[in-house]
Amino acid sequence: MNPKPSVLVTRTLPAAVEARLAKDYQPRFNEDDRLYTTEELLAFAVDMDALLICHTEHMSAAVIERLPHTVRVIANYSVGVDHCDLDAARRRGIVVTNTPDVLADATAEITMLLLLAAARRASEGERLMRAGTWDSWSPAFMVGTQLTGKPLGIIGMGRVGQVTARRARGFDMTVHYFNRRRLPEELEHGARFHESLDTLLPVSEFLAVHCPSTPETENLINADCLAQLPDGAVFVNTARGSVVDEDALLEALRSGRLAAAGLDVYKNEPRVRPEFAALDNTFLLPHIGSATKETRDAMGFRALDNLDAVFAGAEPRDRVA
Ligand code: DGY
């Protein structure tokens, strides 16, 4: 009988996922969940058949070129694969997979949380309560922007964008979207397709980004784009920080052009620019779009299904390289 394939698991995963790994593979776990340096990762990868990594592991071309020849597959515990140089993996003949579909509900929930919290000034209110400094009520006190019935622009109408659209309809929002391709009509549920951002942005009193991070989407949300939004718009991002020009966003928030922003992702995580926290009109979360028990388990099982397929000699369902 062949020995079970060995897997370097770079971060601590949910118990049920680690149990399945222990049953079917020879895993090397990261028990204290310490972020490995590149040199540690490369040293631990020696003789491994597979890597099971998160977006916190930066698999640049230089790192991939130095991986041992035993490594056949990099299974990502993430839907985003911008941390992985896919061309470099292809050159090395290493299969790369991700975990699509299973994050959509959790991430759309966080999108709704950001929309509501940014629009209704939740951060300001919460800080007041925690500081014990709330001392009066008046009709002008903490007046925010109402979501109900307003237009929501969605950039990127993949799985997360589509679930966000569904949730937003619960608030009677009218959905507009920009996507590389128009969705089939039965998936649009009345959402209006825009062929360019030039027509989407001027109607987007609320704007949510759900596109992947690619060279084409880098700094997509820049000063020009923000200037096209209606005055007092609300912007939220649960996709990737690289999609936003953070200088331009800070300027739009400071000037009041944007009423507020809700952010879960940033350019240089976890070192977020302190200017965001210094503003009252931001609501900030630490990249927790997929952080529910259900979703984190599902991501792990999906990553393991991909590994199982590779070691069974089959095509993994979520192959990206
Ligand atoms: C993803 O899956 O891309 C999430 O951002 C967590 O990594």
Ligand 1, residue 55: give the atom nearest the CA. 7
Query: pLDDT by residue (tens digit) across 176-217?
Result: 999 999 999 999 999 999 999 999 999 999 999 999 999 999
Asked if residue 40 and residue 27 are part of one domain, the reply reads yes
Asked if residue 270 and residue 212 are part of one domain, the reply reads yes
Asked if residue 136 and residue 13 are part of one domain, the reply reads no
Mutate to test the pocket of ligand 1, among 290, 296, 297 (most ligand atoms within 8 A of CB): 290
Reply yes or no on whether 185 is catalytic.
no
Residue at 150 is within a domain? yes
CATH, residue 89: 3.40.50.720
Asked if residue 142 and residue 200 are part of one domain, the reply reads yes
Ligand 1, residue 103: give the atom nearest the CA. 2
Asked if residue 278 and residue 160 are part of one domain, the reply reads yes
Q: Please tell me the predicted confidence (pLDDT) of residue 2.
A: 78
One of 240, 246, 296, 302 is an active-site residue; which one? 240
High-pLDDT (> 70) share of the chain, %: 100
Mutate to test the pocket of ligand 1, among 53, 78, 81, 297 (most ligand atoms within 8 A of CB): 78
Asked if residue 223 and residue 177 are part of one domain, the reply reads yes
Asked if residue 129 and residue 243 are part of one domain, the reply reads yes
| Cα 81 to averaged position of ligand 1 atoms, centre (Å) | 8
Asked if residue 132 and residue 78 are part of one domain, the reply reads no
**Residue 290 Cβ contacting ligand 1 at under 6 Å:** yes
The secondary structure of the chain, three-state, reads: CCCCCEEEECCCCCHHHHHHHHHHCEEECCCCCCCCCHHHHHHHCCCCCEEEECCCCCECHHHHHCCCCCCCEEEECCCCCCCECHHHHHHHCCEEECCCCCCHHHHHHHHHHHHHHHHCCHHHHHHHHHHCCCCCCCCCCCCCCCCCCCEEEEECCCHHHHHHHHHHHCCCCEEEEECCCCCCHHHHCCCEEECCHHHHHHHCCEEEECCCCCHHHCCCECHHHHHHCCCCEEEEECCCHHHECHHHHHHHHHHCCEEEEEECCCCCCCCCCHHHHHCCCEEECCCCCCCCHHHHHHHHHHHHHHHHHHHCCCCCCCECC
Residue at 262 is within a domain? yes
One of 40, 126, 185, 269 is an active-site residue; which one? 269
Q: Please tell me the predicted confidence (pLDDT) of residue 1.
A: 67
Ligand 1, residue 81: give the atom nearest the CA. 3
Asked if residue 215 and residue 170 are part of one domain, the reply reads yes
Name the residue with the closest Cα to ligand 1, atom 6. 78
User: Using CA atoms, how far apart are residues 257 and 15, in angstroms rounded to an integer?
Assistant: 46
Cβ-in-10-Å burial (0-12, 13-18, 19+) of 165 comes to buried
User: In total, how many domains does the chain have?
Assistant: 2
Residue linked to tokens 């993430």: 78
Mutate to test the pocket of ligand 1, among 10, 35, 55 (most ligand atoms within 8 A of CB): 55
Asked if residue 272 and residue 174 are part of one domain, the reply reads yes
Name the residue with the closest Cα to ligand 1, atom 2. 78
Contacts of 140 (CB under 8 A, 6+ apart): none
Predicted TM-score (pTM) of the model is: 0.97
**Residue 78 Cβ contacting ligand 1 at under 6 Å:** yes
Name the residue with the closest Cα to ligand 1, atom 3. 80
Reply yes or no on whether 294 is catalytic.
no
Q: What is the mean pLDDT of each run of 10 residues along the chain (321 residues)?
A: 92 98 98 97 98 98 98 98 98 98 98 98 98 97 98 98 98 98 97 98 98 97 98 98 98 98 98 98 98 98 98 98 98
Reply yes or no on whether 11 is catalytic.
no
Name the residue with the closest Cα to ligand 1, atom 1. 78
User: Using CA atoms, how far apart are residues 16 and 12, in angstroms rounded to an integer?
Assistant: 11
Q: List the domain range (segments joined by +) for residue 304.
A: 6-102+293-311
**Residue 79 Cβ contacting ligand 1 at under 6 Å:** yes
Query: pLDDT by residue (tens digit) across 130-159?
Result: 999 999 999 999 999 999 999 999 999 999
User: Using CA atoms, how far apart are residues 88 and 65, in angstroms rounded to an integer?
Assistant: 7
**Residue 76 Cβ contacting ligand 1 at under 6 Å:** no
